[in-house]
């Protein structure tokens, strides 16, 4: 442990950063010694499993406000006391949380393990996993300053603060600066690339929640249809339909490997499962798969549609978990709650319900159960009208990011159970139509069988961040991301090609080996 750096770990030794429009309020700095933590890949998206052992770092936490906005934002940075690799790695959040919560600390521990200085921000929202503590200043009035801080403002300040603290602490700026996140963190990364193109040299922004209103309203759509029908299937009914769809669609790519590699391209009929008797763990009884379950599965796969049948947003793929996400995110499209006697009710989760109640309607008591399809359409449109410029990160003009030399990598699971893969494809195509030479700075990888950020039957691309670093620093272009998974006792490996290329079986080699597949 460097004695000079240890002495520098003092609030009195470190000046406040300087940011126009910002007033710094407090700073604390303390030495953390012998920090040890195992960081699993399913908590540290874009990265492999890693253990930080006996690390020593300086924890510097600053608070600040934007005068006149009545906010207080905390940014927390961990700076290695020995073995700093000369780089900054900023981290993102999840759900309604900007950062500085459980996932952030796993991400920061992983960064410290590899010698990075790292930083997280709470955007002035705290660590609550729902928006109720901050969304409204009063009934009828959204706290637009805090939504703006979450949307974009705190992200710029996170990068400036991180670099300034590094410069004060080590006596020089980082050689390279990176951002890593998934889901909300993916949205944050995409927003930084769009609005603050000089903030980072490289951004890993996976399963990004970029089209905020569309995807959040899309999460509520199956609940709308269930409410309109007045029927709520048990989760095990959806599980049975998904299992049948997966088995049916699995071999469409020429290989039966336990995952559905094709996207939105299978003619499976969910009504073929109706009438089957299944064991239902949610009720502890047997249950018959209902027509309503088939209907809801179908509309979830199709995606949101208006009352007159017009397209609103993309649906999930056939092997996505509909009843409850097996990854880190606590939510799914078709969640219901069932009693032991088999009676089930709606159980739509906090993201869509609070988006509608607190932000669009600005009334936490707004009733959701009586919503008509026409009302849903109106709310869908109102959310975009009022908040798209604040929270959505879907501006395809990355000209400035490309000109700054930035590199952007994103992966998205084809079996994502929350954020439809179609949203990432939609945005990639928009960027491609706007900025020439997209492959020079932005690459998207679609991962078969992978759920939201992690989990699911497919493999997680744990080399994403290291591939980004190699691209930024060595010019090593990431043509593919390797993944592996186990199905029925067989380990399958794949090199997932960059979109729009597909990883296609050659028809002759061992289908469990990556060498038997080509990018087409």
Q: Are residues 258 and 162 in the same domain?
A: no
Q: Are residues 325 and 462 in the same domain?
A: no
Among 181, 163, 156, 164, smallest CA distance to 44 is for 181
**Helix, strand, coil percentages for the chain (3-state, nearest 5):** 35, 25, 40
Considering the domain boundaries, does residue 506 fall inside one? no
Q: Are residues 404 and 425 in the same domain?
A: yes
Note if 452 is an active site residue.
yes
Q: Are residues 154 and 179 in the same domain?
A: no
Q: What are phi and psi of 397, to 5 degrees?
A: -85, 90
342 falls in which pLDDT band (50, 70, 90)?
A: confident
pLDDT at 335: 83
Q: What is the pLDDT of residues 472-482, one digit of tens each?
A: 999 999 999 99
pLDDT of residue 326 exceeding 70: no
> 202-206 and 176-182 as β-strands: parallel, antiparallel, unpaired?
parallel
pLDDT of residue 327 exceeding 80: no
- Residue 428 tokens read as 């990639």
Q: What is the pLDDT of residues 311-325, one digit of tens each?
A: 999 999 999 999 874
Instruction: Enter the DSSP assignment of 514.
Output: G
Residue 297: domain span: 214-389
pLDDT at 325: 44
pLDDT at 186: 98
Note if 346 is an active site residue.
no
Report yes or no: 61 and 75 within 8 Å, Cβ to Cβ.
yes
1 falls in which pLDDT band (50, 70, 90)?
A: low
pLDDT at 98: 97
Catalytic residue among 213, 250, 257, 416: 416
Q: Are residues 219 and 293 in the same domain?
A: yes
CA angle 255, 260, 266 (to 5 degrees): 100
Q: Are residues 226 and 195 in the same domain?
A: no
Q: What are phi and psi of 398, to 5 degrees?
A: -100, 25
Residue 352: HSE in the Cβ half-sphere, 13 Å Cα cutoff:
26
pLDDT at 328: 38
Rounded to whole angstroms, the Cα distance separating 331 from 347 reads 10
Rounded to whole angstroms, the Cα distance separating 109 from 329 reads 20
Coil, strand or helix: which one is 279? strand
Considering the domain boundaries, does residue 517 fall inside one? no
Report yes or no: 510 and 516 within 8 Å, Cβ to Cβ.
yes
Catalytic residue among 47, 66, 428, 452: 452
Q: Are residues 73 and 40 in the same domain?
A: yes
Q: Are residues 138 and 206 in the same domain?
A: no
pLDDT at 445: 98
CATH number at residue 471: 3.40.50.1820
**Dihedral sign computed on CA atoms, order 287, 291, 295, 298:** positive
Q: Are residues 307 and 432 in the same domain?
A: no
Residue ending a domain, choose from 372, 389, 406: 389
Considering the domain boundaries, does residue 507 fall inside one? no
pLDDT of residue 400 exceeding 90: yes
Considering the domain boundaries, does residue 511 fall inside one? no
Considering the domain boundaries, does residue 78 fall inside one? yes
Considering the domain boundaries, does residue 75 fall inside one? yes
- Residue 40 tokens read as 């699993």
Q: Are residues 137 and 149 in the same domain?
A: yes
Among 346, 377, 350, smallest CA distance to 364 is for 350
Q: Are residues 372 and 307 in the same domain?
A: yes
pLDDT at 4: 84
Note if 290 is an active site residue.
no
Number of domains in the chain: 3
Catalytic residue among 104, 159, 183, 417: 183
Considering the domain boundaries, does residue 468 fall inside one? yes
Q: Are residues 344 and 407 in the same domain?
A: no
Considering the domain boundaries, does residue 364 fall inside one? yes
């Amino acid at each position: 442990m460097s004695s000079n750096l240890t002495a520098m770990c003092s609030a009195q030794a470190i000046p406040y950063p300087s940011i126009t429009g910002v007033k710094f309020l407090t700073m604390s700095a303390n030495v953390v010694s012998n920090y040890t933590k195992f960081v699993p890949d399913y908590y540290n998206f874009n990265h492999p499993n890693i253990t930080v052992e006996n690390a020593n770092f300086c924890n510097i936490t600053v608070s600040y406000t934007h005068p006149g906005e009545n906010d207080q934002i905390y940014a927390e940075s961990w700076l290695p006391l020995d073995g700093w690799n000369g780089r900054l790695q900023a981290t993102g959040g999840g759900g309604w949380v900007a950062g500085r919560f459980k996932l952030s600390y796993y991400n920061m521990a992983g960064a410290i393990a590899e010698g990075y200085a790292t930083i997280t921000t709470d955007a002035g929202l705290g660590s609550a996993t729902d928006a109720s503590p901050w969304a409204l200043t009063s009934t009828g009035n959204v706290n637009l300053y805090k939504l703006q801080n979450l949307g974009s403002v705190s992200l710029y300040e996170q990068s400036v603060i991180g670099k300034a603290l590094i410069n004060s602490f080590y006596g020089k700026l980082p050689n390279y600066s990176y951002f890593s996140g998934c889901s909300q963190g993916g949205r944050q990364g995409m927003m930084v690339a769009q609005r603050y193109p000089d903030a980072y040299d490289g951004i890993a922004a996976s399963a990004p929640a970029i089209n905020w209103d569309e995807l959040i309203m899309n999460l509520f759509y199956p609940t709308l249809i269930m409410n309109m029908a007045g029927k709520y299937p048990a989760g095990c009914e959806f599980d049975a339909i998904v299992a049948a769809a997966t088995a049916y669609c699995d071999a469409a790519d020429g290989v039966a490997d336990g995952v559905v590699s094709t996207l939105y391209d299978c003619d499976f009929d969910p009504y073929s499962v109706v009438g089957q008797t299944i064991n239902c763990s949610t009720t502890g009884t047997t249950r018959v798969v209902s027509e309503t379950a088939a209907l809801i599965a179908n509309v979830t796969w199709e995606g949101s549609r208006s009352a007159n049948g017009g397209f609103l947003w993309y649906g999930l793929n056939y092997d996505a978990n509909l009843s409850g996400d097996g990854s880190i995110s606590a939510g799914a499209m078709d969640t219901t709650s069932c009693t032991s006697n088999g009676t089930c009710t709606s159980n739509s989760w906090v993201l869509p319900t609070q988006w509608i109640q607190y932000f669009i309607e600005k009334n936490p008591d707004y009733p959701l159960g009586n919503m008509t399809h026409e009302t849903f359409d109106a709310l869908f449109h109102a959310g975009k009208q009022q908040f798209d410029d604040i929270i959505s990160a879907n501006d395809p003009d990355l000209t400035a990011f490309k000109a700054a030399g930035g590199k952007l990598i994103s992966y998205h699971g084809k079996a994502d159970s929350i954020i439809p893969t179609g949203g990432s494809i939609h945005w990639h195509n928009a960027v491609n139509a706007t900025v020439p030479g997209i492959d020079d700075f932005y690459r998207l990888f679609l991962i078969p069988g992978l759920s939201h950020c992690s989990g699911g039957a497919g493999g997680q691309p744990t080399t994403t961040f290291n591939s980004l670093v190699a691209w930024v620093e060595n010019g090593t272009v990431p043509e593919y991301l390797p993944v592996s998974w186990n199905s029925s006792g067989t380990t399958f490996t794949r090199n997932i090609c960059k979109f729009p290329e597909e990883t296609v079986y050659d028809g002759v080699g061992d289908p469990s080996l990556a060498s038997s597949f080509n990018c087409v």
